[in-house]
Amino acid sequence: MNENSKPVPHPSPLTQPYWDGMVAGKLRIQYCSACGKARHYPRYICDACHSFDVTWKDSIRDILAVTDASPHPVCVAAPMAMRRLIGERIGAGFTRRTRELLGGAQGCTHLMELLGPAATTAFQSLVHLRFAAPDRLDAKGRPTKIDSCFAYGADSPVVKQRWPAHYTGEHEG
């Protein structure tokens, strides 16, 4: 491994659905089909009912948030609002939906703001897996990531390297 490379996970048949979800930008959790218990890390057998029936879900089934220390006594009740996220999918649009459900006086700003960076960090840490997946293309065959952020600007060195046919910056020679 050279100094610029990062370790890449080696999925097994048991963990492949988890990694496939990460590549797609979704956090998938394994559940027991028989009793409904979530289990992470993935296992072949449920530790609650010993069933071998497995299902994978990418929506929030339950949530527990706690405020042990807060600026005001009333704040200790705010974590209950986080339960509004049950049933929501973790993927594209999650941060926007979180703001809709918990923004302003509807929820605790401090707890809410922790959710987005945690999901983004998990997603971004798997860049090598995402690069291995085929690019999504628009109707003209152009990768949809182009011009979606600074690094993917059509005139950036990243686009020049990954999608030279779509590079619009200066050409050498």
pLDDT single digits (tens) 55-70: 887 777 678 888 888 8
Q: Is the pLDDT of residue 103 over 80?
A: yes
Q: 122: pLDDT confidence band, cut at 50, 70 and 90?
A: low
* Largest interatomic CA distance in the chain: 68
Least trusted range by pLDDT, from 76-80, 113-117, 139-143, 154-158 = 113-117
Q: Can you give the pLDDT at residue 160?
A: 95
Percent of the chain clearing pLDDT 90 (strictly above): 20
Cα separation, 18 vs 55, in Å, equals 11
Nearest 5°: CA angle at 103, between 75 and 145? Answer: 135
113 within 8 A of 82, measured Cβ to Cβ: no
Question: Is the pLDDT assigned to residue 39 strictly greater than 90?
Answer: no
**Cα 119 to chain center, whole Å?**
5
Burial 113-135 (b: 16+ CB within 10 A, else e): eebeeebeeebeebeebeeeeee
Mean predicted lDDT score pLDDT of the chain: 83
Q: What is the pLDDT of residue 98?
A: 86
Comparing 53 with 3, the larger pLDDT belongs to 53
Cα 82 → chain centroid = 18
| 20, pLDDT greater than 70 | yes
**Sheet holding 38-39: strands in order across?**
38-39, 29-32, 54-57
pLDDT at 129: 66
* pLDDT value at 130 more than 70: no
| Range 132-157 average pLDDT | 90
